Amino acid sequence: MNNDFSLEGKVAVVTGSSTGLGQGMAIGLAEAGADIIGIASRSNQDDTKKEVEKTGRKFYQIQADLSQQDQIVSLVEESISKTGRVDILVNNAGIIRRNQAENFTDEDWDAVIDVNLNAVFRLTREFGNHMIEHGTGKIINIASMLSFQGGLKVPAYAATKHAVAGLTKSFANEWASKGVNVNAIAPPGYMITNNTAAIREDETRYQYITSRIPQGEWGNPPEDLKGPVIFLASSASRYVNGHILCVDGGWMGS
Ligand code: NAD
C-alpha cells in the first residue's frame, strides 16, 4: 500500500462501532494500521473487537449513551486516557425516527437532535481541542444524502444531517490552519444496515430507489466505506478540508 494511506501508529475513535457502517469503518481503519476506541450504546461490541483484533490492532471498548450531553466531556477524557492520544475521530453514531411531518413528536425531534447533532458538536469540539494541542488530527463526520435532500417522514434526521454538513465546513474553516482536517462522508440512504431496514421492507419503495441509483445497487458496508474513510483519516487527504464526500453509487449526480 502507498504509505500515504497508512494509519500505522494512529488511534481512531469510532462512535456507533457496534454494528453497521461504524463497525465496517472501524475494521477498515484497523486494517490500515490504527488501534480503535469503539464507543457505542450497546455493551456488546464483541464482533467488532474480534474483527479488529484479527488485523493485529488493539480494540478498546467504551459503552456510553451519546444522548446524555452532560457526559460527553468525561467520555472524551476516558477515551483519551485509554491510549494517551487520539489522532482520528469518526462521528458515526446516529439514529433515525420516522413519522409524517405533521405528526412528528417533540420527543422524536429531541432524541434525534441530541444524538445526531448535539453529540457530534461536543465530541468534535472536545477531541478537536486535544488534536489542536498536538498540531494534527483528522475528524470525519458521517453525513447523509439527507444533508442535501429532505427525504420523507424524517424531518429531524434531515435537519441534523444538513447541520452536520454545516458543522463540518465551519470547523474545517477554523481548524485547517491548526493541522486538523475536518471532512464528512455522505453515504446514501441506501446502504444495507439496520438504519434502512424499514425502507428495504417496502418492496415498491425498494425497487424504485434501486432503479434510481446509477450504479444499480445499494451500498454494501463495510466494503464501500473502507476506502473513503481510510483516505480521509490518512495523510493522503492532507489538503482536503470541509469536503462532503458522497459515497452513493452516483445518486447525487443523477
Ligand atoms: P445502525 O443503526 O446500524 O448503527 C448505529 C450505531 O450507533 C450503533 O453502533 C449504535 O449503538 C450507535 N448509537 C445509536 N444511538 C446511540 C447513542 N445514544 N449512544 C451511543 N451510540 C449510539 O446505523 P447505520 O446505518 O450504521 O448508521 C451509521 C451512521 O451512518 C449514522 O450516522 C447514519 O445516519 C449514517 N447513515 C447511514 C445510512 C445507511 O444507509 N445505513 C445512510 C446515510 C447515513
Domains identified in the chain and CATH numbers: 2-253 (3.40.50.720)
Strand ranges of the sheet holding 180-186, from the earlier edge strand across to the other edge: 59-63, 35-40, 11-15, 88-91, 137-142, 180-186, 244-246
For residue 213, CA distances in Å to 18, 158, 203, 238, 251 come to 28, 20, 16, 31, 5
**H or E element: which one contains 83?**
helix 72-83
**Averaged pLDDT, 148-162:** 96
**Averaged pLDDT, 15-40:** 96
Give Cβ neighbours of residue 29 (< 8 Å, ≥ 6 apart).
7, 12, 14, 36, 88, 90, 229, 230, 233
Residue 94 CB–ligand 1 contact under 6 Å: yes
Residue 189 confidence (pLDDT) above 80: no
Residue 187 CB–ligand 1 contact under 6 Å: yes
Residue 41 CB–ligand 1 contact under 6 Å: yes
Q: In angstroms, how far is CA 252 from the centroid of its own chain?
A: 19
d(CA 88, CA 81) in angstroms, rounded, equals: 15
Each residue of 96-134: pLDDT tens digit? 999 999 999 999 999 999 999 999 999 999 999 999 999
* Ligand 1: centre distance to CA 196 (Å): 10
Residue 2 confidence (pLDDT) above 80: no
**Which of the two residues, 191 and 9, has the higher pLDDT score?**
9
Residue 144 CB–ligand 1 contact under 6 Å: yes
* Ligand 1: centre distance to CA 66 (Å): 12
Given ligand 1 and candidates 15, 19, 21, 246, which is best to mutate, with the most ligand atoms within 8 Å of its CB?
A: 21
pTM: predicted TM-score of the whole model, two decimal places: 0.96
d(CA 93, CA 62) in angstroms, rounded, equals: 13
* Ligand 1: centre distance to CA 91 (Å): 10
